[in-house]
Structure 1
């Protein structure tokens, strides 16, 4: 019996459910096993009875158990999906901050998406799976914006994934970012408690804005801000931006899309290099000075180990290009 699937061949396959996957809904289990196959197709073969458990019918909501033998019908892929599987993401390892049998913490570089989609063929997770073909499971425990660098957690077993996701959902983790913003941040402004709303531009691109609390789609969003230090403007920008910049620690109590970027921009202090919510004239000046990325870095993460229950603090030091930018040394 097989414990993994080969997609594409026009033949029935049989898959043995491992103990780590016990308790998962059938549909969720198959989504993980049949990566690249549209969900609509997965549901179709379940509803039609082509997927069998121990020779009997099974529903999408039924939970699989360790040792179950699943019959998987021939999976005929579209040309687009077949092409994607024939040319997978290139294998790539990323700097590891922490790793054990349960999960690993990567230091994700800026400019790399965490997963494929929305015009991106592949991201960190697809590359890691190619780099570690013997890993039973590698799943993102949370997300980071493509332009943001820093700590990214990947679960290596189902119990760890659930434990980490529960902590993020229940706001039990301490996620602190480093951000460089335009101007002098008011030291008294320590709590940003502003609801956010996601919307789409005319071209379909996603954006977020601050709204009133009574907005029908408002999501409460809280960021805590601490000023680390003042950073003078480069000489070439001193005349135009005499107030320089502020390096901030921003701890988010809620994990909304683009939360830090929108909160800081709404306060009148956009993040340097932010191409969505930033000061575009400032960004042009920064590019001329050789600074081409957004200064936002997932720096510190405090959490409870999902298996042992021990408290953990993870740190990802500022990347060299940001240290050079703000002349910051030995911050951690």
Structure 2
């Protein structure tokens, strides 16, 4: 049984439900929320899960299926039961889940070896931190695809779209900081140097403690009801991310601002963003601000 929530937990962490059906729930995780259950009664995630149970009138408290770092925002997948969570976890383990992130990183347009690429450097854990390992070290594969979305004309900052093919701890943060030499804005753990004074005064000073500008933007997984379909949930960017991009003149796609829901079968993809009910999956899309 999950620990009961402290009274402040539900008020402190809004339960931004993006999508829910009889097996799957996707939340838009807030920055600062530790997406891991702890034994103490002060566990923030326990409070959020209990609030989701209440808001959706569920028989059971939902189960988290994966983790996001404390400072990361975006798509967080829950199962409505332990059996549903196991089924969803199997998709993650078999690498059937497509995970797309947006990251605001340090470095201008000339900092990158082209406009897109792939990083396959293995990672190894050492003293609680991840570091790069040699290709012949025997460490597990780590694959990250990256693409430049836009660079700021005002400051040496760039928005990257990332495809996470393997899900190792801090993989994106290490690959960006130590392979691309483009640390995520706000990431003091893996950055090898502090931001410039101009970036510090213009942008970083507005960020909360432990806040890194990394957003789990899109997640796609399979659902069966009764035929196989793939559902893609897009989590809208948080206000501080949008505000900073506006300040430094980096344009954002409309769907990245407001979120969206797309369902594809073997023959077509349908946009359910403006439709609250999804009868084929007995699901519901929860419109976000601006929709």
Query: C-alpha deviations, 1:41-70, integer Å up to 9, x for none?
Result: xxxxxxxxxxxxxxxxxxxxxxxxxxxxxx
Find the aligned partners of 1:291 and 1:86 in 2 and give their Cα distance.
30
Matched, 1:96 2:17: yes
Contact 1:179 1:297 in 2 (8 A): yes
Q: How far is 1:264 from its partner?
A: 0.6
From the superposition, tell whether residues 119 and 136 of structure 1 become closer, same or farther in structure 2 (CA, over 3 Å). Answer: closer
Could you tell me which of 191, 197, 214 is aligned with 2:136?
214
Contact 1:159 1:306 in 2 (8 A): no
Find the aligned partners of 1:141 and 1:86 in 2 and give their Cα distance.
19
Any gaps of 5 or more consecutive residues in structure 2? 256-291
Find the aligned partners of 2:245 and 2:41 in 1 and give their Cα distance.
30
How many residue pairs get aligned? The number is 236
Equivalent residues in 2 for 1:77-226, closer than 5 Å: 90-91=9-10, 93-117=14-38, 121-130=42-51, 132=53, 135-183=59-107, 184=109, 185-187=112-114, 189-200=116-127, 206-215=128-137, 218-226=139-147
2:213: which partner in 1?
295
From the superposition, tell whether residues 212 and 313 of structure 1 become closer, same or farther in structure 2 (CA, over 3 Å). Answer: same
1:238: which partner in 2?
none
Any gaps of 5 or more consecutive residues in structure 1? 1-32, 37-84, 201-205, 235-243
Query: C-alpha deviations, 1:142-189, integer Å up to 9, x for none?
Result: 110001000001110233212210111111111000011121322265
Contact 2:100 2:217 in 1 (8 A): yes
Find the aligned partners of 1:120 and 1:255 in 2 and give their Cα distance.
29
Contact 1:139 1:154 in 2 (8 A): yes
Q: Which has the higher strand share?
A: 2
Higher RCO (CA-CA < 8 Å; seq separation 6+): 2
Contact 1:195 1:213 in 2 (8 A): yes
Could you tell me which of 144, 150, 159 is aligned with 1:247?
159
Q: How far is 1:116 from its partner?
A: 4.2
TM-score (norm 1): 0.64
More deviation, 172-181/287-296: 287-296
Give RMSD over aligned pairs. Answer: 2.7
Q: How far is 1:262 from its partner?
A: 0.3
1:47: which partner in 2?
none
From the superposition, tell whether residues 187 and 118 of structure 1 become closer, same or farther in structure 2 (CA, over 3 Å). Answer: farther
